[in-house]
Amino acid sequence: MKTFVCTLLFVIFCLFSCSSGKQADASAERESLIASIDSLEKKMFNRQSMEMDKELAAKEIQLYQNFVKKFRDDSLSAEYLFRSSDLARALGDSSGSIGYLSQICNNYPAYKKIPECIFLQGYYCQEFFGDTTQAKSFYNQLISKYPGHAFVDDAKALMQMFGKSEQDIINDFEKKAGEKKKI
């Protein structure tokens, strides 16, 4: 019986040792990946010209994606997806940008920037694809879920511009400006 208890304790000890070693490895990998991300973020923009190095931006997106894949439940994953969206848009990948925003909305509903993600999906659909139907869906989702958010007025204003020419929009602004001067 004594041998059985000792063997059982040894097995339990080994299991705990292995799992804590894996946790330490994961923690070290996480910190290393964050350090790489932070380092590349600092190099990505030329401080003098304020231009983005497109190659480094693409590498940064890959680092963000590696982090999200390995640490899906980490609090930084949603933020890294948001940054991926921003970089993808800057690189001209509007579909990828919308995809990252959608991934945030689907997988991180408690993320503090969800209203911005919804708004940006609508804006990108409208601006880059001319898809006012999809844009309206996102804008209405923002308005109904977050009625007090700062972007609600912007969403409403953008929907009012659907189907209008640039000249019609300019005329509307001039008309509103004239009405404000009278008051």
Query: Which domains are seen in the chain, by residue range?
Result: 37-112 (1.25.40), 114-163 (no CATH)
Q: Is the pTM of this model over 0.85?
A: no
- The tens-digit pLDDT sequence of the chain (183 residues) is 556 544 544 545 444 544 445 566 778 889 999 999 999 899 888 877 788 999 999 999 999 999 999 999 998 999 999 999 999 999 999 999 999 999 999 999 999 999 999 999 999 999 999 999 999 999 999 999 999 999 999 999 999 988 877 787 787 777 777 776 666
Query: Mapping DSSP to helix (H, G, I), strand (E, B) and coil, where does residue 45 land?
Result: strand
The vertex-72 CA angle with 40 and 80, nearest 5°, equals 30
Query: In sequence order, what are the residues at sequence separation of 6 or more whose Cβ sits closer than 8 angstroms to the Cβ of residue 58?
Result: 87, 91
